[in-house]
Amino acid sequence: MDSRNDGAAKDAKKSDEVVETPAYSQENIQHNMRIIYYSRTFLSIVGGVVAGVLGLTGVTGFLCYFVIMMLASAGIAVKTKFDVFSFFDSWNRITIDGIAQGFMSFILFWTFAYDIVHIF
Amino acid sequence: MVLGFMKPINSKFKANWIFLFYKAIEVAFKLIFLRSGGREMAGADMAVGILGALVLAHAAYITILYRGDLKIKEEEFVRPPIQVWIEVLISLVLCLWAALRVPGTFLPILPDSKENRVVALPANLDFMTFNHRGKLFAPELEAKFTKS
């Protein structure tokens, strides 16, 4: 009797060691992604106007964009209180994700602001 | 030169009106973007963001005046004055704060976190069975149910 119960307990322990794919709440993942997307878009627009007002041209302008995006990533990491894996499924979401979409907005507002402030 | 509100802009293209119109569009655009986020307590943070946009608009205005002065003195434009740099930095900080605060807080994605627990059963229990193998697993959380 005892050995049978022990066997059952050992089997239960073995199956506990099987790696399970974590079940994430899809709705919450999308909610978090949407928040990051809004933050990055707003900061791209602000960054574009900043680059235009300061009269940055060429490489320094693109550098300004990447600096602002890095600050945004740092801000998002602080917002999660550095406990990234309870809000996102990988670090890529915070560091890489919204940068390409914001880039076009940045260039648009950079051109706008530069024209208005420095040319007209 | 600090406030620069009363100086006319020397430019053939009436840059002041186009510029103010553009800034109004920009602030409205940002407001439309920010309105889609969470609503609770977003008022103060949105005010910070609007303040950042206004400071940025003022910095742009000062730069336009500065450029006008340079055209009169026939000098080259190298970089805007220190005041513009400081105002741009201030507005960057304010807009960073607003961009991180206004869209709302993050929600946890793991199913066993406190906010994601199902604490009330839906009304139609006709298709739900409770006599399944789940009774063999010990619950990992303290049972706390709310009345709803």
Digit-coded pLDDT (tens) for A44-98? 999 999 999 999 988 999 999 999 999 999 999 998 888 888 888 888 888 888 8
Distance from CA of A19 to the nearest CA of B (A): 16
**Residue B123 covered by a domain:** no
Q: Share the mean pLDDT of chain B.
A: 77
Q: Which residue has the higher pLDDT, A15 or A118?
A: A118
Q: Is residue B133 part of a domain?
A: no
Residue B6 counted as domain residue: yes
Tell me, yes or no, whether B148 lies in a domain: no
Distance CA A46, CA B108 (A): 29
Distances (CA, A) of B140 to A16, A57, B113, B137, B143: 14, 58, 11, 9, 9
Residue of B nearest to A22 (CA): B110
Q: Looking at the domain assignment, is residue B119 inside a domain?
A: no
Contact B124, A100 (CB under 8 A): no
Alpha carbon A94 to chain centroid distance? 2
* C-alpha distances out from residue A36 to A42, B23, B113, B144, Å: 10, 24, 21, 33
**Residue A86 CB neighbour total at 10 angstroms:** 13
Minimal CA–CA distance to A34: which of B98, B38, B49?
B38
* B12 backbone dihedrals φ, ψ, rounded to 5°: -70, -20
B115 versus A80: the higher-pLDDT residue is A80
> Counting every residue, how long is chain B?
148
Q: Are A110 and A48 in contact (CB under 8 A)?
A: yes
What domain range includes position B80?
A: 2-101
DSSP letters spanning A1-40: -HHHHHHHHHHHHHHHTSPPPP---HHHHHHHHHHHHHHH
Note the ipTM here. 0.77
CB-nearest to B63 from A32, A34, A53 is A53
pTM: 0.72
| Contact residues of A toward B, CB < 8 A | 22-25, 28-29, 31-32, 34-35, 38-39, 41-43, 45-46, 49-50, 52-55, 68, 71-72, 75-76, 79-80, 86-89, 109, 112-113, 116-118, 120
Question: In total, how many domains does chain B have?
Answer: 1
More confident of the two residues A100 and B141: A100
- Alpha carbon of A29 to those of A23, A25, A101, B89: distances in Å? 11, 6, 19, 33
Q: Is residue B44 part of a domain?
A: yes
Please state, in angstroms and rounded to a whole number, the distance separating the CA atoms of residues B26 and B141. Answer: 49
- Residue B39, pLDDT score: 55
Q: What would the pLDDT profile of B54-88 be if each residue is shown by its tens digit?
A: 999 999 999 999 999 998 998 888 888 999 999 99
User: What is the model's pLDDT at position B112?
Assistant: 74
Give the pLDDT score at B5: 58
**Enclosing H/E stretch for B70:** helix B42-73
pLDDT for the residue B95: 94
Largest pairwise CA distance in chain A = 92
Choose among B33, B77, B96: nearest Cβ to A71: B96
Domain assignment of residue B81, yes or no: yes
Position A10 confidence tier, pLDDT thresholds 50, 70, 90: very low
- The answer to whether position B51 is within a domain reads yes
Considering CB atoms only, which of A34, A46, A113 is closest to B60? A113
- DSSP state at residue B36: T
Residue A12 confidence (pLDDT): 42
